[in-house]
Amino acid sequence: MQFRATELAGVVIVEPDVHRDARGYFLETYHAGKYGAGGIRAPFVQDNQSCSSRNTIRGLHMQLRKPQGKLVRVLAGEIWDVAVDVRASSPTFGRWVATVLSSDNFSQLYIPEGCAHGFCVLSQNALIEYKCTALYDPGDEVGIAYDDGTLAIPWPTNEPTLSNRDQRNPTLAEFLERVSLTKEVALARPD
């Protein structure tokens, strides 16, 4: 099992060991000790699953007062998964990283508290599962526009399918005007 650090502190790409034979395959999708040694130490309290069709973009989402770390993996299909650093004290504030997660490569992406998360579906459909370090609170969830020009994320679709809410997400600058990251938001500091 490999844990690859990214340029954003705490954002980790996990490449599990996949044991294949004539019957199929076996892999560990989570092991507290191994993941802890790989830098993912937070306890998980909720698992979520979503299914989306090609060109769907979900995000960029996060929670403010009850921030969530997320360990994302794909059960079927393929996505382009994105983490954006919005931790006020971070030297990489406003930067993003992305990786392809698929049911073929078995990779996972850990997005720590204080980072916004989004993804774009590359396959016909994708079934995504993610573990969370805090319970979902719909009243605490906020979004940032996926197409914010200052973030300049090169999403792999020109015709995204978005929820009504995601169509109205503010830019990062508008988000910062609405929310005081240093006073109202208890976001994790990078390690």
Distance CA 63, CA 61 (A): 7
Angle at alpha carbon of residue 5, lines to 18 and 102, rounded to 5°: 40
Catalytic residue among 61, 110, 117, 146, which? 61
User: Are 83 and 117 in contact, with CB atoms under 8 Å apart?
Assistant: yes
Catalytic residue among 35, 110, 117, 130, which? 130
Distance CA 128, CA 52 (A): 8
Phi, psi of 14 (to 5 degrees): -105, 125
The runs of H, that is alpha helices, within the chain are: 32-37, 164-167, 172-178
**Three-state DSSP state, 162:** coil
61 is catalytic: yes
130 is catalytic: yes
Distance CA 52, CA 166 (A): 14
Report, as residue numbers or ranges, the catalytic residues: 61, 130
